[in-house]
Structure 1
Amino acid sequence: MAAIREQDISKGMAALDAWRKAADVHRGEPPEARLAFSPDGLPRNTWAMAVRYSLYLLENKAPGPGVEVRVAPWSAVKILDGPESDPHNLTPPDVIELDPDVWLRLACGLTTWAEEKEAGRISAVGERDDLSALLPLD
């Protein structure tokens, strides 16, 4: 299933831009402040569309069936080449789970994979458990 419906791509782009603008004022802050950033005042549907659109960008940047990236509750995508999921178990061998605020900080370049991982905010299982080469999304 696609991360975002085609008719919602422009809404997703606008939502991600809104999230980015809210985050931009925090770029020069120390890591502790950036790691805690979560924009207040953005409606839930803006968050959802920003997540879906950014996962759509990730999926287009690194297509494949090998790693599942989950950003609950709004979407999940499979990316990167590699072994697919077992036909009896639809979960691929590599799974990465992130909260929406963590994912959007990474996607927008506010924080790094290493910072979020060290803070314990990334759950990753499998050999390909590091997306730092793919982030931030442009």
Structure 2
Amino acid sequence: MPARLRPAPAEAVRDALSASPRSDEQTRLLVKHYLAVLEAREPGRSVEVRVPPYAAVQAIPGVRHTRGTPPAVVETDASTWIALATGSLSWTAAEAAGLLRASGERADLSPYLPLTSGA
């Protein structure tokens, strides 16, 4: 079983968010941090959120799956995930621009984003 993601320390998140350009290490930290925040705030297993090559989590209450592909899958790149999580990009805009793939019931994460308040 893979290790659970944990939110990063607030100072590390602030430093990574303010870096320009961001290193791969900072990008990895932010991706994993915001996936961990989503998983903690919306526990469940009905949606798998994938941000290759960094990480994936299962979250959102609902139908639980035990094998194979979950009932809903969201996949995006690191920059898009960070922008969605911080509120600098809306779910609707990301979908319209083709920056993410979302399929299945509950795959719309807009009710759960951004993740920055209290993160």
Q: Which structure has more helix as a fraction of its residues?
A: 1
Tell me what 1:70 maps to: 50
- 1:78-120 per-residue CA deviation (whole Å, 9 max, x = no partner) reads 0011222243x2x211000010000000101101000101001
Counterpart of 1:94, as a letter, is: A
Please name the residue that 1:28 is paired with.
none
Structure 1 unmatched ranges of 5 or more: 23-39
Which amino acid is the alignment partner of residue 3 of structure 1?
A: L
Match of residue 99, structure 1, among 52, 60, 77: 77
Task: Figure out how many residues of one structure are paired with residues of the other and give that number.
Answer: 114
Distance in 1 (alpha carbons) for counterparts of 2:70 and 2:35: 17
Give per-residue Cα distances to partners, 1:51-75, cap 9 Å, x unaligned.
Answer: 1011111111100011000011111
1:126 matched to 2:97? The reply is no
Ranges in structure 2 where 5+ consecutive residues have no aligned partner: none
CA distance, structure 2, for counterparts of residue 117 and residue 58 of structure 1: 19
SS of residue matched to 1:127: coil
Preserved contact between residue 67 and residue 96 of structure 1 (Cα < 8 Å): yes
Q: Following TM superposition, where does structure 1 have runs of at least 4 consecutive aligned residues deviating by more than 6 angstroms?
A: none
**Max radius of gyration: which structure?**
1
Percentage of matched positions with identical amino acids: 35
Q: CA shift at 1:3, angstroms?
A: 2.4
Matches of 1:15 and 1:43, distance apart in 2:
13
**TM-score scaled by structure 2?**
0.86
